[in-house]
Amino acid sequence: MIHTRNLPFITTLGIFVLAYILCVTQYPNMLSTRVIGNLLTDNAFLGIAAVGMTFVILSGGIDLSIGSVIAFTSVFVAVVIGSLGVHPLVAFAAVLVISTIFGSAMGAMIRYLGIPPFVVTLAGMFLARGAAYLISTQSVPIAHPVIDAIQGFYFRVPGGGRLTALALLMLLVFLVGAFIAARTRFGANIYAIGGNQQSAELMGVPVGPTTIGIYALSGFLSGLAGIAYTLYTSSGYSLATVGVELDAIAAVVIGGTLLTGGVGLVAGTFIGIMIQGLIQTYIVFDGTLSSWWTKIVIGILLFVFIVLQRGIIWYSDRRLAEARLKEV
């Protein structure tokens, strides 16, 4: 049975499949594991961050600090490994702890000071970006045997495609994310809070710990996305990833998650990321189109999805009203 609440996801999936078929009819080469492998690798950091954003939006919140935290993470990791000679794994662990604490602190402010998420994470955005500048305003290259090993690692799949460590990491994050959303109490509580925070509280949902958990998770995943970005570019740069939080929001919304919270799927966000990646790949294949077309298509898709969501709400309201009329 298809719930109306899953309709946006199914629509997104349909649009993706359709778009992919259209691309392939024009450029048959796009149907190769190589293209798909690159699609996953190139969007790994955005995908990881978007999983965190999915949880935040499902709870009815927003996290604007993601791009800044990614930049901070990449600079921090690059400087700590490059200048201080710390082992990369230690640096990764340290930065994940920092970003998780940073996220929890924002969650605590949202919950206990009653400040809207928009404002708190806006402050977080400036703070993390500022901290990144403070560490270094240069692009800091990194080179370390461990990092080289991770970058060089991949599974070869039939057809010549490569499933890199980054792609695997993103897929793993999506799988774990989907599991958390669908199969854990924490996940159920997030949907409940997104549906109606007051009701959720009256039903005994621990709103405080859950809210902190959501932003801690988003912080952690931003940190992880930062690590992925560092590995992807082999450097840390404090001016990088400006506005990535908005790309993440776009992926989440295109993936069918309601911006008002309470309805959506982690799998939808994956498709949202893939659609963005697909458009970029198409532009690369075409060779003549400006890369800004990506933004234009994303903009159009966002409009389509917002209208679609309104339409579904309107439709289900009307059906409910009709059902009520029949009862009378």
Partner 1 sequence: MTDSNLLLEARGIGKAFLGIPALDNVDFTLGRGEIHALLGENGAGKSTLIKILTGVYSRDRGTLHLDGAEVTPASVADAQKLGIGTVYQEVNLLENLTVAENLYLGRQPTRFGMIDKREMRRRSQALLSRYGLDIDVDALLSSYSVAIRQIIAIARAVDLSGKVLVLDEPTASLDSNEVETLFAVLRRLRDEGLGIVIITHFLNQVYAVADRVTVLRNGCLVGTRDLADLPRLELISMMLGRELQHITRDHHAPEETPVTDGEAPIRFEGYGKRGSVAPFDLSVRPGEVVGIAGLLGSGRSETAFLMFGIDRADSGTATIDGKPISLTSPERAIAHGFGFCPEERKTDGIIGDFSVADNIALALQARQGWAKPISAKDKQALAEGFIKSLDIRPASTEKPIKLLSGGNQQKAILARWLATGPRLLILDEPTRGIDIGAHAEILKMIERLCAEGMSLVVISSELEELTAVAHRVIVLSDRRHVAELVGKQVTTDNILQAFASREEAA
Q: Which is nearer to partner 1, 111 or 129 (CB)?
A: 111
User: What are 26's two structure tokens?
Assistant: 């024009």
Stretch that binds partner 1, among 13-21, 24-32, 204-212, 224-232 (CB under 8 A): 204-212
Which listed residue (56, 62, 95, 192) binds partner 1 by CB under 8 A? 192
Determine, following the binding rule CB under 8 A, whether residue 194 of this chain makes contact with partner 1: yes
By rule CB under 8 A, what string of x and - marks binding of each residue 3-32 to partner 1? xxx---------------------------
CB 324 to partner 1: min, Å: 6
CA distance 158 to 156: 7
Stretch that binds partner 1, among 86-94, 116-124, 144-152, 184-192 (CB under 8 A): 184-192
Contact criterion met (CB below 8 Å) for 140 and 240: no
CA distance 220 to 83: 24
CB 104 to partner 1: min, Å: 22
User: What are 206's two structure tokens?
Assistant: 């621990």
Determine, following the binding rule CB under 8 A, whether residue 145 of this chain makes contact with partner 1: no
Phi-psi region of 114 (alpha: psi -120 to 50; beta: other; left: phi over 0): left
CA distance 42 to 242: 17
Determine, following the binding rule CB under 8 A, whether residue 252 of this chain makes contact with partner 1: no
Q: Which is nearer to partner 1, 219 or 262 (CB)?
A: 262
Contact criterion met (CB below 8 Å) for 55 and 254: no
CB 193 to partner 1: min, Å: 9
Q: Among positive and negative, which fits the CA dihedral 86, 87, 93, 99?
A: positive
CA distance 152 to 223: 21
> Which positions lie near partner 1, rule CB under 8 A?
1, 3-5, 179, 182-185, 188-189, 191-192, 194-196, 198-206, 262-263, 316, 320-321, 323-325, 327-328
